[in-house]
Amino acid sequence: MATTSPRIYLNGRFVGEDEAKVSVFDRCFLYGDGIFEGVAVWDRAPFRLQPHLDRMRDGLDYLRIPNPFTDVEWEDLIERTIAENAMEDGYLRIQISRGEGISSIKWEPRLLKKAEPNVTVIPIRGFKDYYKGLIAEKMEAGLRAIFLSRPRVSTAALPSGTKHCNYLNSVLGAIEVTSSGHDIGIAVDREGFVSEGIAYNVFALKGNRLMTAPISRDILPGITRAVVIELARAEGLEVDECLFDAFTLSSADEVFICSTLELAVPVVEVDGRRIGTGKPGPVSRRLGGLLTETMAGEAATWHASRKKKG
């Protein structure tokens, strides 16, 4: 039985929502100066935790924020958070800020009030219920998308390979999607090539060729994206991480998005143009089903490995 309210990990202890507070001088609050990760929990196990930890570590190194834990310590903390919240399934948001500093853009360590980063792990339960609802509402109808008016921020300006806490580009995209009455937004880069969505990777299928933007092209190397590529290749699809434009996506047989929160969901319309038959395609459906099967199978493997370690 899940507890009535989440127990949030904050700097060494689990607290309720009312106690989960950080200083107004926290640099993530002031400047978005931090890193986060979103990890799916399926059958009481974190899905593909190690790739999340690898990406987070790379991001922390790039931003010169100390990593507070080893990978083994992170695994133990995630397991404790799942147990503390009696999570059968859900979503964990791990966030690490640089720490507290005066209200100045200067990064100099001497200006920081404390050296230790603020570390939080926020649990969100009900992932399977959310996904089952998503299947019922969206898997039959599919998603309606628009091409966003703003390009994704270039990697030359902000590192796209990590989940830093500066999400204004995505927030503006989400406002545009909501204002237009659509479900999702797909961004292109400054040269007109498809990059990614607001918080999800994008795939387009033409014949047996499954296209997605290369990670060198201003996109996040999504964990779910990597799993989908594995599954697609195992199914005999030709996966091509390549540059393709809005016309190519609009004329594809199938389009779908994927992310930790959305898993894999078909797109049936972009900018008012029908994709394929205008209904979720068989390949998108197949890969979505294989993804949840993979999550269930790896959950069993996780529990077996933890028993051995115990």
Q: CATH number of the domain at 13, please.
A: 3.30.470.10
3-state helix, strand, coil in the chain (%, to 5): 35, 25, 35
pLDDT for the residue numbered 241: 98
**In terms of domains, do 245 and 143 share one?**
yes
Q: What is the pTM of this model?
A: 0.93
Quote the domain boundaries for residue 108: 8-125
State the chain's mean pLDDT as an integer: 91
Q: What is the pLDDT of residue 191?
A: 92
pLDDT at 138: 76
The verdict on 20 and 117 lying in the same domain is yes
181 shares its domain with 72: no
Q: Is 271 found in the same domain as 142?
A: yes
**Contact 62/159 with Cβ under 8 angstroms?**
yes
Which of 105, 125, 145 terminates a domain? The answer is 125
Q: Quick check: is 302 in a domain?
A: no
Domain membership flag for residue 1: no
49 found inside a domain: yes
Domain boundary among the residues 69, 98, 125 is at: 125
Q: Which pair of tokens denotes residue 62?
A: 């790039």
User: Do 64 and 93 fall within a single domain?
Assistant: yes
User: H/E element holding 172?
Assistant: helix 168-180
* Residue 3 falls inside a structural domain: no
Domain containing residue 222: CATH number: 3.20.10.10
Residues 138 and 227 in one domain: yes
Vertex 11 angle, CA 114 and 103, to 5°: 35
Residues 72, 200, single domain; the answer is no
Query: Quick check: is 307 in a domain?
Result: no
Domain check: are 200 and 148 in the same one? yes
- Edge-first strand order for the sheet with 13-15 is 13-15, 8-10, 119-125, 90-97, 34-42, 45-46
- In a 10 Å sphere around its CB, with 0-12 CB exposed, 13-18 middle and 19+ buried, how is residue 287 labelled? buried
221 and 274 both lie in a single domain: yes
Of residues 105, 96, 119, the one with CA closest to residue 30: 105
Residues 292 and 225 in one domain: yes
Amino acid 154: pLDDT: 87
- Indicate whether 203 and 286 sit together in one domain: yes
Q: With a cut of 70, which residues of the chain have pLDDT below it? A: 1-3, 102-115, 131-136, 310
Last residue of a domain, one of 90, 125, 160: 125
Q: At what angle do helices 71-84 and 49-63 cross, to 10 degrees?
A: 120
Do residues 242 and 210 make contact, with C-beta atoms less than 8 angstroms apart? no
Predicted confidence at residue 14, as pLDDT, reads: 98
In the prediction, which pLDDT does 310 show?
65
Among 62, 35, 30, residue whose Cα is nearest residue 163: 35
| Number of domains present in the structure of the chain | 2
Say yes or no: 148 and 276 in one domain. Answer: yes
Full DSSP string of 71-127:
HHHHHHHHHHHHHHTT-SSEEEEEEEE--BB-S-S---GGGBS-SSPPEEEEEEE-H
